[in-house]
Amino acid sequence: MFDQPGMGEEALNKVAEIGLASQLDEVENLDVDIKTDPLKLIQGEVDSVNIDGDGLVMQRDLRVEELDMQMSSVAINPLSVALGKIELTKPTEASVRAILTEADINRAFNSDYVRQQLQQQQIHVDGQLVTVDAQQVDFRLPGEDKVALNASILLRETGETHQVAFSAVPRVSASGQTVTLENVEHGDKEELSPELTQALIEETSEILNLSNFDLEGMTLRINNLQIEAGKITLQAQAHVEQIPSG
């Protein structure tokens, strides 16, 4: 009887898709598949919610190649659907899988937001306090669980351009909320400035932190970070207090 998506499911899907899209800067493809039936919906019961997205641009210009989110046994306020919203009556947990490509992370590094963070940094070079700007950042995923970064740095006082390069292994914190870089190896025998390298390391960690992926009403916790040549795959749990509505 309920093999075909009913009007209830179709309406829920559309409401959720519009709501999620409103939280994103860009969307190539977004599909929400909510499974329930009219009798359960009247009681506020939803069997499952699956969200499948491609080419989603989050805050800070961070693009995600693929995003899959799955929730089961979701409780909603049935009256909210009539108002064009999906209001959860209790929080639920979701499993999340996200894929970021090397190009996606490069896009974030060279976005206006991050470039502003890496401009006019005051650092010490050879004992002198100088002002530096990151001109171009090249982020790579060479494989072997590593990330690598090469940045062109302009010294404002002298007009000289220097290259800063390092590779490191990202590690997820015990809380699953942050990513830190370990086993940092410098590309050059002599660092231009430890402070500058540290600033770039912190910005790399910030881009990889899951706070960038949080949507309204959703908080993510990383379970696993898999790094391959050319891409990063995040496995995470999401605590969902509400599904964004348009």
Per-residue pLDDT 10s for the chain (246 aa) are 334 445 578 888 988 898 889 888 899 999 999 999 888 988 999 999 999 999 999 877 889 999 999 999 899 998 887 787 889 999 999 999 999 999 999 998 888 888 888 888 888 877 788 888 888 899 999 999 999 999 998 988 889 888 889 999 999 988 888 899 999 998 765 667 787 888 888 888 888 876 677 778 888 899 999 999 999 999 999 999 988 766
Q: Residue 100: its pLDDT value, please?
A: 94
Nearest-5° Cα angle at 152, 148 to 154: 145
Closest CA to 99 of 54, 142, 61, 166: 54
Judgement on whether residues 117 and 156 belong to the same structural domain of the protein: yes
pLDDT of residue 1: 34
- CA–CA dist 237, 239 (Å, integer): 7
Query: Cβ atoms within 10 A of the Cβ of 114, count?
Result: 21
Contact 87, 76 (CB under 8 A): yes
Q: In 3-state terms, what secondary structure has residue 191?
A: coil
Are both 202 and 217 inside the same structural domain?
Answer: no
Question: Residue 146 domain-assigned?
Answer: yes
Residue 140 three-state SS: strand
pLDDT of residue 126: 76
**Domain annotation covers residue 2:** no
| Domain, as residue range, for 123 | 111-208
Domain annotation covers residue 159: yes
Residue 159 phi, psi dihedral angles, 5° rounding: 80, 5
Do 27 and 86 belong together in one domain?
Answer: yes
CB 158 within 8 A of CB 131: no
Rg (CA), the chain: 22
| Predicted pLDDT of residue 33 | 95
Q: Are residues 84 and 101 in the same domain?
A: yes
Asked if residue 56 and residue 23 are part of one domain, the reply reads: yes
* 38 and 14, same domain (yes or no): yes
Query: How many C-beta neighbours within 10 Å does residue 90 have?
Result: 9
With respect to residue 245, please indicate whether it lies within any of the assigned structural domains: no
In angstroms, rounded to a whole number, what is the distance separating the alpha carbons of residues 133 and 149? 16
- Cβ contact 60:203 at 8 Å: no
Residue 207 host element (H or E): helix 194-208
39 and 92 in a common domain: yes
For residue 246, being part of any structural domain is answered with no
- Total tally of structural domains belonging to the chain: 2
